[in-house]
Amino acid sequence: DQQVKQNSPSLSVQEGRISILNCDYTNSMFDYFLWYKKYPAEGPTFLISISSIKDKNEDGRFTVFLNKSAKHLSLHIVPSQPGDSAVYFCAAKRIPGNQFYFGTGTSLTVIP
């Protein structure tokens, strides 16, 4: 049972434009959310996180938005750069808790 879902397997965006990656979850007990970025042949790298007490967290070009009532989070990348081309995974967990639940990933291509 997939508790974290990324319904768009791929996304293409023009360089300089905004990239919006979406993630939905089913477990209302999740209270910590993360985005990871993965290049081919490498492990995922942590990008940005948000706890359930916030609805927005910003780090440079990356902003994560959380809508708890809709059980939805999104990652905005502005402006998008070709180096942002990668697979992006969202993940969720309960705190305290051991287990992270990952989505299936969205492959982002930023076109120069």
- Chain-centre distance for alpha carbon 63: 10
Residue 101 in 3-state DSSP? strand
> Site mask, other proteins, residues 79-98, x = CB under 8 A?
----------x-x-x-xxxx
Q: How many residues does the chain have?
A: 112
Query: Which is nearer to other proteins, 13 or 89 (by Cβ)?
Result: 89
Cα gap 97→44, rounded to integer Å = 20
Check binding of 78 to other proteins (CB under 8 A). Answer: no
Among 36, 84, 108, 110, binds other proteins (CB under 8 A): 36
DSSP assignment letter at 74: E
Q: Tell me which residues touch other proteins (CB under 8 A).
A: 2, 4, 6, 32, 34, 36, 41-46, 49, 89, 91, 93, 95-105
